[in-house]
Amino acid sequence: MKIAISGKGGVGKTTLAALLARLYASEGRPVLAIDADPDANLASAIGFSRELAEKITPIVELKDLIEERTGAKPGSSAPFFRLNPRVDDIPERFAGLHAGVKVLVMGTVKTGGGGCVCPENVLLKHLLQHAIVYRDEVVIVDMEAGIEHLGRATASSVDAFIVVVEPGQRSLQTALTVKRLAVDIGIHRCFVVGSKTASKGDRDFIVAGLPEMEVIGFISRSDRIIEADLKGLSPFDLDQDAVQEARQIRRRLDEALAK
């Protein structure tokens, strides 16, 4: 199962990614969670202590490795570098492990954003491709609204692309944009999860606002999720109602994919 999660900033992507990662792991399945958001905080949401989270080195910061694998110094404008660098050993070497979830942190590319062709982006893109296309694990990717690192080669192996929205016009607009980008690169199984919903009115607003997308569930607005974030704990450990909702989302996902 390969799941990519996107949506507007602050809607609850990382919270959902963490809940799903811990849920699959609690069933004894091997899980690789990839933090592909420059504003990386997935490890903390999965339940890593601050100390352990800090031990996970973002891949873009591994300058020597990037140079070794691509043949070019990161940040350099070397005209030639390997476009097909070896990456298959990276998850084992650089992921952190907590509660059965392996976490890889991609980090922020400082030169020209995620779209530029520079050694670090080539490596990240290949790493993501390797994880999504070849790894025999549940892979969950926590992304920003931009999906630059997901190339065509990777897109067709994504089983489910989940766009998280909150009750509000702006996040619905972002969802439509993200969906269009996803469809453009060949992702067709796009689903919506409504987050921070507090009423049936909120849930109806989301369903009515995205008539052409399939809403597979909700993570209700919850004080325990806020508390978990304040304390640096995982919502999975603090909010059983949210875990139940994640379980429901997982079930709907399985049903939709079996069709």
Considering just the CA atoms, what is the radius of gyration of the chain in Å?
Answer: 18
CB 165 within 8 A of CB 7: yes
Residue 256, token pair as written in the block:
């939709």
Q: Which does 115 bind (CB under 5 to 8 A by kind): Mg ion, ligand ADP, none?
A: none
- Residue from 2, 6, 7, 14 touching Mg ion (CB under 5 A): that is 14
In the complex, the smallest distance separating the C-beta of residue 153 from ligand ADP, rounded to whole angstroms, is 26
- Residue from 2, 3, 14, 128 touching ligand ADP (CB under 6 A): that is 14
- Residue from 171, 174, 195, 234 touching ligand ADP (CB under 6 A): that is 195
- Residue from 196, 206, 217, 236 touching ligand ADP (CB under 6 A): that is 196
If one asks whether residue 171 binds Mg ion (CB under 5 A), the answer comes out as no
Pairing of strands 101-105, 96-98: antiparallel
How is 28-48 classified by DSSP, letter by letter?
Answer: T--EEEEE--SS--HHHHHT-
- Residue from 4, 15, 131, 202 touching ligand ADP (CB under 6 A): that is 15
Is 107 or 119 the residue whose CB approaches Mg ion more closely?
Answer: 107
Site for ligand ADP in 198-257 (CB under 6 A): 219-222, 225-226, 229
Q: Which helix (H) or strand (E) holds 7?
A: strand 2-7
The residue number whose beta carbon is nearest to Mg ion equals 14
DSSP state of 147: -
Q: Which helix (H) or strand (E) holds 225?
A: helix 223-231
